[in-house]
Amino acid sequence: MDKGFLVLETGEVFEGILIGDKQAIEGELVFNTGMTGYQEMMTDPSYKGQILTFCYPIIGNYGINDIDDESKEIAVSAVIASDICDEPSHYQLTRSFSKQLEQAGIPGLFEIDTRQLVMIIREHGSLRAKIVTDEWETKNITWQTRSLLSLVNSVSVKQSETYGTGDTHIAIMDYGYKKSIRNALLQQGCKVTVVSYQTPLHHIKELNPDGIVLSNGPGDPMELQAYFPVIKQITQDYPTLGICLGHQLIALAYGAMTKKMHFGHRGGNHPVKDLFTGKVWITSQNHGYVVEEDTIDYMQFDVLFKNVNDRSLEGLKHCHYPVTTVQFHPEAHPGPSDTNYIFEDFLNEVREKKGALTHAKA
């Protein structure tokens, strides 16, 4: 087995065993606390440009299947794990974890002390890191500067894609959407059209959707500032649901501000309180930026959800338009499905407005 080295911008070096592709790679080092769902995590486009550390001590024990990918390819730049299971057991598996990395050309390291690594990230915040194959390279690291907008460009569809034949037509503005979002809408009887985040407003109107979903995605939401006017107009013309990055973009389009979190929320057990009902839901999350609550215009929005652990803002409801935003992932995958009702509530608003428009025309 070949040795590899993880070098942090703070100077620490971790030695481990290389798996997957044996190439040097650089990215933002983050961690996810989930006990399961490594396949969904690796294929979640929100991880584009990041080196993902798995907190759970053994990864790969149920292998990789042909069902649970969240996008068409692995999104992470690399993975870090404590231990890898190369003899998985599951009736749906088609290949092992390490074979998946090898086939996708993605490097990884295992036999890393992930507990110590996570402690460093928690202390310093998300860090730049690099995987190298030779020990001498650990002494001569140069760090690249990368446009975060290029991350969204690399994961968004280039041409529109349509799925389903339902009577309710939903357009997904794709900043790096998860397949599970599309599937959640299809399961509710929708026709779904996925369009690039760069799609002009008049092209969206030509599609004649009944509602819009602004998807999750990677990078800094402020990199998409040029699209804020279109996003704001969309929310005024159509019932809209913003998920994760989409939540942040809607808030920014209405004048709020975002900030980078110390090490983000990534896992499947984040408690979120609904301020309207008082109920607490357990949610799946994957984000490194957050909307600053004191920048919200309360003439425009009510705060809908808050994180129980750190009190960060987790969702908004527009006071006048049928617009809802959530920082978490109601479709889960991986994670609990407590908040799947978010899609039902959104589609009720969509169908209510569609019915009102139909009645008015009649």
In the chain, which stretches have pLDDT less than 50? none
DSSP 95: B
Is 329 tagged catalytic?
yes
User: 268 among the known binding-site residues?
Assistant: no
Q: Does 289 belong to an annotated binding site?
A: yes
Is 201 known as a binding-site position? no
Say whether 211 counts as a known binding-site residue.
no
What residue ranges define each of the domains in the chain, with the CATH number in brackets? Answer: 3-146 (3.50.30.20), 150-361 (3.40.50.880)
Per the CB < 8 A criterion, the answer to whether 155 and 176 are in contact is yes
Residue 294: exposure state from Cβ atoms within 10 A (0-12, 13-18, ≥19) = exposed
Residue 22 Cα distances to 29, 43, 233, 236, angstroms? 18, 20, 47, 49
In sequence order, the 6+-apart residues with CB closer than 8 A to the CB of 7 are 13, 129, 130, 131, 132, 137, 138, 141
Confidence (pLDDT) at 57: 95
219 in a known ligand binding site:
yes
Task: Express each pLDDT in 177-235 by its tens digit.
Answer: 999 999 999 999 999 999 999 999 999 999 999 999 999 999 999 999 999 999 999 99
Q: Scanning the structure block, which residue is given the tokens 């006071």?
A: 319
What's the confidence (pLDDT) of residue 137?
85
Q: What is the pLDDT of residue 138?
A: 86
Q: Which amino acid is at 280?
A: V
Q: How many residues does the chain have?
A: 362
Ligand-binding annotation for 92, yes or no, is no
**Nearest Cα to 346, choosing from 361, 362, 325?**
325
Q: Is 102 a catalytic residue?
A: no
Distances (CA, A) of 332 to 146, 180, 213, 266, 309: 29, 8, 16, 12, 19
Torsion angle of C-alpha atoms 132, 133, 134, 140, degrees rounded to 10: -10
Q: What is the pLDDT of residue 111?
A: 97
DSSP 3-state of 163: strand
Give φ, ψ of 101 to 5 degrees. Answer: -60, -45
Look up residue 352 and give its amino acid.
Answer: E
Q: What 3-state DSSP class applies to 218?
A: coil
Would you call 341 helix, strand, or coil by DSSP? helix
- Of 265, 331, 333, 349, which residue is the catalytic one? 331
DSSP-derived pairing of the beta strands 78-80 and 107-110: parallel
Global model pTM greater than 0.85: yes
- Cα separation, 4 vs 108, in Å, equals 9
- Pick the catalytic residue from 244, 265, 333, 349: 244
Alpha helices in the chain (DSSP H): 38-42, 97-104, 114-124, 149-155, 179-187, 201-207, 228-237, 245-253, 341-361
Tokens of 230: 């279109």
Structure tokens, 209: 């959707």
Establish whether 245 is an annotated binding residue. Answer: yes
